[in-house]
Amino acid sequence: MDCKHFQEVDSRILVVMLIKLGDVLILSPLLRKLKEKWPRSHITWLADESVVPLIKMNPYVSRILPYSRESICQLRAEAYDLVLGYEREPAAAALVHEINAKSKVGEAYGGQENSLYILNEPATHFLK
């Protein structure tokens, strides 16, 4: 491609964390680590409208989706390489459960118990 601004994307990452301002700040440095590991990644953050101005300041976020019925429909149609599900609100955690992704980290809602569940052991520390 001849466009000097075009950057090929080799991985798609979704962050699901809606409203907890402190958690948004805590999670922000992780995005730098993700970009170091996958420099050509595209990072989407699903967030409540109230924290969007804070997330906009993070240079590693490629796209911010305000949490809405429309964005939920859009995310259900997309595919990701990695989903970071750090939201305990059941509706948002259920979305993490439903998203088409190769790998998921954090917490989701649903499964056999119809409740919040930890996706993998590394997420246990963050969620405590």
- Spell out the domains of the chain, with CATH numbers in brackets: 11-127 (3.40.50.2000)
Lowest-pLDDT range of 2-11, 50-59, 68-77? 2-11
20 DSSP 8-state letter: -
Q: To 5 degrees, how large is the angle CA 60–CA 68–CA 71?
A: 60
pLDDT at position 128 over 90: no
CA–CA separation, 3 and 14 (whole Å): 26
Residues listed for the chain: 128
Mean pLDDT, rounded, of the chain: 85
- Greater confidence (101 vs 118) lies with 101
pLDDT at position 9 over 80: no
- Greater confidence (20 vs 127) lies with 20
pLDDT at position 7 over 90: no
Q: Where does the pLDDT of residue 61 fall: very low under 50, low under 70, confident under 90, or very high at 90 and above?
A: very high
